[in-house]
Amino acid sequence: MNKYRIAVIPGDGIGKEVVPEGLKVLNAIAAKFNIELSYNHFDWSCETYKKTGRMMPEDGLEQLRENDAIFLGAVGFPGVPDHLSLWGLLIPIRREFEQYINLRPVRLLPGITSPLRDKVPGDIDFWVVRENCEGEYSQIGGMIHQGTEHEAVVQESIFTRYGTDRAIRYAFELAKTTDKNHVTSATKSNGLFHSMPFWDKRFATIASEYPDSETDQYHIDILAAQFVMNPERFDVVVASNLFGDILSDLGPGVTGTIAVAPSANINPERKHPSMFEPVHGSAPDIAGLGIANPIGQIWSAAMMLEHLGEKAAGAAIMQAIEAVLTATDAPLTPDLGGRASTCDLGDAIAAQV
Amino acid sequence: MNKYRIAVIPGDGIGKEVVPEGLKVLNAIAAKFNIELSYNHFDWSCETYKKTGRMMPEDGLEQLRENDAIFLGAVGFPGVPDHLSLWGLLIPIRREFEQYINLRPVRLLPGITSPLRDKVPGDIDFWVVRENCEGEYSQIGGMIHQGTEHEAVVQESIFTRYGTDRAIRYAFELAKTTDKNHVTSATKSNGLFHSMPFWDKRFATIASEYPDSETDQYHIDILAAQFVMNPERFDVVVASNLFGDILSDLGPGVTGTIAVAPSANINPERKHPSMFEPVHGSAPDIAGLGIANPIGQIWSAAMMLEHLGEKAAGAAIMQAIEAVLTATDAPLTPDLGGRASTCDLGDAIAAQV
Ligand SMILES: CC(C)[C@H](C(=O)O)[C@@H](O)C(=O)O
Ligand SMILES: CC(C)[C@H](C(=O)O)[C@@H](O)C(=O)O
């Protein structure tokens, strides 16, 4: 029996509501596929911050390190400035564990209606590969003349060949496994004078290592528009940290709802634990109501199992999600047009498993 | 008779094809509204760069300065790296003439089909106010260990209180003129540690000067998704240079086509000439075919007249565009599903005027 230790961090807001549903489905799957999952629970959150001034204990990263994977809900809540909560928990985990790929499927699921005219499942099905450890997200910078009318802030983006190449290379490797073997690069070399011309150069260099792959590139502005106008066009889209962030919310928007979208923060070398979390955030506006859609969290569980090598178990979760979404009497949450609770929908998917 | 001197820069690619249509319509309008327009033509482009190593002559900005407005097509073409062409022409004009607002309407026009289900004209109608002179677009930064595996690039974003406040304030003033009086701020304060928390603070400060305006703010990732899921929600969206760039291509994507979208690079104090250009670029893929849609350029002409104080003339252009788009036998360009040429569509709009 394969055994895995999973660090569980529900975090804030609806994270605390959807993570239990993810665990419910994981337990059902584990029983069926003869997998042993042991959970280490961590209540780190903005509550912790308010009590202790930290999002996690000083040795928090060490406590996570001994796990095989991290299963996270959502981080951030009104009352703690976002940059403090995120840089105190989510971003340090991504960086310490070299989770330099943020992999996000953009897929129109059966049973869900795209806001785009005429699109049906199968039309929209691609990957966003986001660089997840450097780039525009940086604490480097600061302010001068603070509090005066001459105030100015410097925010630095740092791109290294090391960090850029490994993200782009991952995208090409992923494309090799798809039907289209096509990689699109997101750039903005006409506006961002230093970073994006560099990104383009590295993309061209790495592309030359993959002569069988087709490539193209778009400036981020028109690329965003293309996600709406021609989403069929894409297979693997590779982007910097910020651009990948934008595209991987926009993509799920185009497929009907952010609430079902999963993400995998991956350390491809498996030297460190990878982390799995829904794309959505803590959603303060509906937190506590018990109506959050748990599918993003449950799909993230499927990605986690796949990453751990349990492909069949991961696929079984996806089948269960799709079966429930297309059932005539599915207990859907309000965002999907139903009246069911988070727990009802989680129950249905677990039962389907 | 009111007289205006207009600097005309067709630039590259389809810029050279759509600008003449813009002038055609301007001439028709001028005759009708008793306005005198005199044009100063500048052939600055990537061709110029290839011949002279510069996008415009050394005194180019001085040559433009004496005009009342600048009417630009598109800049950038394969063969000249984008960052060189844009930083050699478009961006210096924006900055030298303190065109610190890039104003872009997002409006679903009658006769155009949105890619979004069920959306009809009237449903999507808002403004993107983009900060246009600082922020993420900067030449500040550079590379270390160039050409080695340790290569690293630093790209700096600079936000000043001066530059941020005037953009945000413009958005609130604009909102006062709309029915909803609502301003949405685009942020990413959870990822961009210095710049966006600063932006948020300035937004909150300026919002407090406008107690009658409603406000909200979204992180750029979810905001992009909301443009697709709930475009009715917006009235005035204010964003940094990069975020505004992305949103003002995504918006037109949501309204059916980038090709018809206009933009105004405005110096609100009218100390310097403002510049009017379509949102689309030089479109190398269709350049030379004579099939580019001239409506973005023509709508930009309408914004120019409005800025110059010729509101009735600007409105007349918009009426002509809408009349042609909804005519049963309209000569539409291929992007709108027709077979007409750039020139045919320009003729039709000029005739309608
Ligand atoms: C060409 C490019 C530099 C420009 C920009 O990003 O500002 C364009 O995309 C625009 O939006 O006007
Ligand atoms: C919460 C935030 C810092 C985070 C990010 O931008 O990385 C989130 O939007 C995501 O995409 O995982």
CA distances from B303 to B30, B71, B72, B165 (A): 14, 10, 13, 24
pTM of whole model > 0.95? Answer: yes
Give residue B1's pLDDT.
86
The C-alpha torsion from A198 through A204 and A207 to A211, rounded to 10°, is -170
Going residue by residue through chain B, which has 353 residues, state the pLDDT in tens, using 9 for 90 and above: 899 999 999 999 999 999 999 999 999 999 999 999 999 999 999 999 999 999 999 999 999 999 999 999 999 999 999 989 999 999 999 999 999 999 999 999 999 999 999 899 999 999 999 999 999 999 999 999 999 999 999 999 999 999 999 999 999 999 999 999 999 999 999 999 999 999 999 999 999 999 999 999 999 999 999 999 999 999 999 999 999 999 999 999 999 999 999 999 999 999 999 999 999 999 999 999 999 999 999 999 999 999 999 999 999 999 999 999 999 999 999 999 999 999 999 999 999 99
**Residue in chain A lying closest to B192 (CA):** A137
Between strands A125-131 and A274-278, the pairing is unpaired
Q: Enumerate the residues of chain B whose CB falls inside 8 A of the CB of residue A227.
A: 253
Cβ contact, residue pair A83, B196, below 8 Å: yes
Contacts of B336 (CB under 8 A, 6+ apart): B112, B257, B259, B293, B325
* Count of CB atoms situated within 10 Å of the CB of A63: 14
Euclidean distance between CA atoms A322 and A337, whole angstroms: 16
Question: Can you name the residues that pair with B6 across neighbouring β-strands?
Answer: B39, B69
Angle among Cα B242, B247, B250 to the nearest 5 degrees reads: 130
Provide the CATH topology of domain A125-254. Isopropylmalate Dehydrogenase (3.40.718)
CA distance A189 to chain B (A): 6
Among B114, B136, B153, B250, the strongest candidate for a mutation testing the A interface, having the largest count of A CBs within 10 A, is B153
Q: Give the pLDDT mean for A209-219.
A: 97
**Residue A85 near residue A11 (C-beta atoms within 8 A):** no
Contacts of B310 (CB under 8 A, 6+ apart): B2, B33, B35
**Residue A276 near residue A262 (C-beta atoms within 8 A):** yes
Contacts of B99 (CB under 8 A, 6+ apart): B93, B132, B133, B265, B266, B267, B272, B274, B275
Q: Enumerate the residues of chain A whose CB falls inside 8 A of the CB of residue B225.
A: 249-250, 252-253, 258
Cβ contact, residue pair B190, A86, below 8 Å: yes
Sign of the Cα torsion A81, A84, A88, A90 reads positive
Locate the DSSP E strands across B223-271: 236-239, 262-266
Cβ contact, residue pair A157, B155, below 8 Å: yes
* Ligand 1 lined by A221 (C-beta under 6 Å): yes
Euclidean distance between CA atoms B250 and B240, whole angstroms: 15
Q: How far is the CA of A245 from the centre of ligand 2 (A)?
A: 7
AA letter at B54: R
Among B130, B189, B193, B263, the strongest candidate for a mutation testing the A interface, having the largest count of A CBs within 10 A, is B193
Cβ contact, residue pair B196, A250, below 8 Å: no
Cβ contact, residue pair B115, A229, below 8 Å: yes
Residue spans of the domains in chain A: they are 1-103+258-353, 125-254
CATH class of B1-105+258-353: alpha beta
pLDDT per position as a tens digit, A313-343 = 999 999 999 999 999 999 999 999 999 999 9
Q: Which of these, B296, B318, B294, B284, lies nearest to B45 by C-alpha position?
A: B284
Q: Which of these, A55, A115, A113, A114, lies nearest to A79 by C-alpha position?
A: A55
Tokens standing for residue A219: 């400036």
Nearest-atom number in ligand 2 for the CA of A76 is: 1
Cβ contact, residue pair B81, A189, below 8 Å: yes
3-class secondary structure, B99: coil
The 8 Å CB, 24+ separation contacts for A139-142 are A139/A87, A139/B193, A139/B194, A141/B156, A141/B193, A141/B194, A141/B195, A142/B194
Nearest-atom number in ligand 1 for the CA of A219 is: 9
Euclidean distance between CA atoms A240 and B155, whole angstroms: 13
% chain A with pLDDT above 90: 99
**Residue in chain A lying closest to B198 (CA):** A153
Question: Which of B9, B12, B70, B90 to probe ligand 1 with, by most ligand atoms within 8 A of CB?
Answer: B90
Q: How far is the CA of B156 from the centre of ligand 1 (A)?
A: 18
Locate the DSSP E strands across A55-171: 69-74, 101-107, 125-131, 141-144, 152-160
Q: Which of these, A297, A303, A292, lies nearest to A333 by C-alpha position?
A: A292
CA distance B262 to chain A (A): 15
Give residue B333's pLDDT.
97
Q: Matching CATH topology for A1-103+258-353 and A125-254?
A: yes
Of B83, B116, B159, nearest to A117 by CB-CB distance is B116
Place of tokens 């630095």: A156
Phi, psi (rounded to 5 degrees) for A13:
55, -130
Among all ligands shown, which has an atom nearest to the Cα of B263?
Answer: 1
Question: Which of A193, A195, A221 to probe ligand 1 with, by most ligand atoms within 8 A of CB?
Answer: A221
How long is chain B?
A: 353
CA B115 centroid distance within chain: 21
Q: How far is the CA of A5 from the centre of ligand 2 (A)?
A: 25
SS (H, E, C) A266-315: ECCCCCCCEEEEECCCCCCCCCCCCCCCCHHHHHHHHHHHHHCCCHHHHH
Contacts of B204 (CB under 8 A, 6+ apart): none
Q: Enumerate the residues of chain A whose CB falls inside 8 A of the CB of residue B198.
A: 143, 151, 153
pLDDT per position as a tens digit, B223-233 = 999 999 999 99
Mean of per-residue pLDDT scores for chain A: 97
Cβ contact, residue pair A191, B229, below 8 Å: no
Cβ contact, residue pair A221, B194, below 8 Å: no
* Ligand 2 lined by A86 (C-beta under 6 Å): yes
The enclosing H or E element of A5 equals strand A2-11
pLDDT of A179 > 90? The answer is: yes
**Residue A127 near residue A235 (C-beta atoms within 8 A):** yes
Of A83, A153, A225, nearest to B190 by CB-CB distance is A83
Question: Inter-axis angle of helices A195-207 and A161-176, to 10 degrees?
Answer: 40
Query: Which CATH number is A1-103+258-353 given?
Result: 3.40.718.10
Tokens standing for residue B12: 């590259």
Give residue A205's pLDDT.
98
Locate the DSSP E strands across B164-282: 182-187, 214-219, 236-239, 262-266, 274-278
Of A161, A191, A253, nearest to B149 by CB-CB distance is A161
Q: How far is the CA of A226 from the centre of ligand 2 (A)?
A: 22
* Ligand 1 lined by B116 (C-beta under 6 Å): no
Least confident of A105-109, A235-239, B81-85, B245-249: B81-85
Cβ contact, residue pair B194, A154, below 8 Å: yes
**Residue B258 near residue B228 (C-beta atoms within 8 A):** no
